[in-house]
Structure 1
Amino acid sequence: MIHHQVIPMKYDNVAQINDIAGLEQQCKQLDSACLKADLEHLTKEDGDHGLLCYHNGQLVGLLSWYPSEGTTGSINAVVHPQYRRQGVLRSLLERAREDVRPLGIHRLSYRVPQSHPAGMAAVQAFGAAYDRSEHAMKLQNDASAKQSQTVFSSGLDLTAAEPEDLEFMIACSSAAFGDPEDWTRDYFRHTDEPSRPTYVIRKENEPVGLIRVNVINDSTGFIHNFCILPARQGEKLGRAALTLMVHRLLEQGYTDIRLSVVTENERALSLYRSVGFDVTTEYKYFIGPI
């Protein structure tokens, strides 16, 4: 067991940001797994919370977290390969638990790359159970968005959500994803922030779906909560709406456009690929108690 110091990260601390970038680069060189520090989430004033573990002045571990779905804390961690199995992750997690308990968070969700069995063993040792697997996808070919003349003549449009759209958003999301409306209402309340705009998908002015974008930074946007009313599915509205959203993001200068999809959802995976997205990494998610 090494002696280490755990401190909170400051989003605008240049030295800490450089240390994190260096740790991520060292992991890439020494480890075949795709461990990402998600630095873009940590360098926003209202972004993820970061905890740093130093040993003799060297950053050897990072844990970031953010509240998700009200009572869940989403965890991402990176530990230097030469300092694993030495209590680094456990020390970071103990401090994270202290930070999240006062917020009413009573369970933790861990994200682990498919190619990282040591990480999966670690979270299972913390009492977490497998929840789901997701493909991380990134826009690799924007040809379909740039050649979207048919989309603009289809009567489909995206409009920024207004307060009066909330009930439709709740009903649509609940119906599409199978979540209770009370839970969905609480989710939208917790994720109502300027950096996460919501768009209502309209067909000839009638609302038929919704799509949201988590703006990570000036060049990166993460598409999520994309759904079409079950009664309107099968009308090829999904591909048109996603193409339109991608086209709009490209026009706004976003060069890094991402999304994720549950691995079992072959229909959605096919749709995203048809618009130009490719799988970059597969992640497994585990959920456990505080």
Structure 2
Amino acid sequence: MSTYQVVPMIYNSKEQIDSIIILEQQCKQLDSIHLKADLDHISKQDGDHALLCYCEGKLVGLLSWYPSDGVTGNINAIVHPHHRRKGVFHSLLGRAVEDMKPQGITRISYRVPQSLPSGLLTAQSLGAVHDRSEYSMQLMNMSFPAIEQVELTLSMAKPQDFEFMVSCSAQAFGDSEKWTRNYFTQTNEPSRVTYIAWRDELPVGLVRINSINETTAFIHNFCILPAYQGQKLGRQVLTLLVELLLKQKNTDIRLSVITENEHALNLYRSVGFEVNSEYQYFIGSL
């Protein structure tokens, strides 16, 4: 009977990073799908939490997680196909739960690739309920059409812009201002930058960038105040932002979008983004 050992990852351990890369490759070869360990997020100081599971000295499983709003632990995991249904994921999850409880986490969000039926079944077996489906998108066309008339400017958010950020995001996404304020506070990290969109010296929207590494940027929290929606301002903001990120030498620009949001999908495609994968999200109690 195999013996499994769960240990925390050391973010700058070359040996562990190399083992994770090998595990990703093995899963891709055996599953014919690319399970991502989110190495960029877990291999940097103050990055996502990560746990590793070993069997006879070989890495067979990984679970990473990060808190997003003070109460939700967002989980991503990969397990070697030959070691599934042997308790690897449950061992990793049990250890992660122990680490989450002292931080006030009360619920878990599981991210599962649409093309991995076993992952979907596992989430459901844990009592988690389906929350949403998202496409992961990547900028593929670097020569997108220029904006005919630019009405907006982008500037990095200042401390005095915080209340606008809370109000704009809450109105655009339908969340409470209390939840939104807590979310922005919890995700106030050096790797994240918020840009405010201005028109006629008035703030009309915002967008945030999470710099994963020196060449990879993830766009999120992109929104326009409802009073200004329908005026094609979103495309201007996105185009200005992509131009800025390219000037900053970002070669890998990503974002995600709810699969049912056709308007946003068409907007992102018009600027050169293409879908590269789909994920299902499930919510469960701790």
- TM-score, structure 1 length as denominator? 0.97
SS at match of 1:148: coil
Letter in 2 for 1:267: H
- Name the stretch that deviates more: 120-129 or 12-21: 120-129
Relative to structure 1, the CA distance from residue 230 to residue 149 in structure 2 (aligned partners, 3 Å threshold; closer, same or farther) is: closer
Match of 1:112 in 2: 112
Match of 2:205 in 1: 209
Match of 2:232 in 1: 236
Name the CA distance, whole Å, in 1 between partners of 2:236 and 2:107. Answer: 37
Deviations 1:29-78 (A, max 9, x none): 11023311110001110111110000000000000000111100000000
Q: Is the 8 A contact 1:34 1:115 kept in 2?
A: no
Match of 2:171 in 1: 175
Deviations 1:119-161 (A, max 9, x none): 01011111211110000000000111xx5353xx513111000
Letter in 2 for 1:25: Q
Match of 1:84 in 2: 84
Cα deviation for residue 2 of structure 1 reads: 2.7
- Name the stretch that deviates more: 271-280 or 118-127: 118-127
Q: Is the 8 A contact 1:2 1:87 kept in 2?
A: no
Cα deviation for residue 254 of structure 1 reads: 0.3
Name the CA distance, whole Å, in 2 between partners of 1:94 and 1:2. Answer: 18
Residues 1:40 and 2:36 are matched in the alignment: no
Name the CA distance, whole Å, in 1 between partners of 2:235 and 2:170. Answer: 20
Letter in 2 for 1:230: P
Gaps of 5+ in 1: none
Name the CA distance, whole Å, in 1 between partners of 2:123 and 2:151. Answer: 48
Match of 1:148 in 2: 146
Cα deviation for residue 227 of structure 1 reads: 0.2
What is the correspondence of 1:66-77 to structure 2 with a 5 Å cutoff?
66-77=66-77
Cα deviation for residue 117 of structure 1 reads: 0.6
Q: CA RMSD in A?
A: 1.0
Name the CA distance, whole Å, in 1 between partners of 2:103 and 2:2. Answer: 30
Name the CA distance, whole Å, in 1 between partners of 2:115 and 2:122. Answer: 14
Deviations 1:2-33 (A, max 9, x none): 31000000100000000000000111111023
* Percent of residue pairs identical: 61
Moved over 2 A (4+): 147-150
Name the CA distance, whole Å, in 1 between partners of 2:91 and 2:241. Answer: 42
- TM-score, structure 2 length as denominator? 0.98
Q: Is the 8 A contact 1:210 1:226 kept in 2?
A: yes
Name the CA distance, whole Å, in 2 between partners of 1:137 and 1:194. Answer: 24
Match of 2:50 in 1: 50
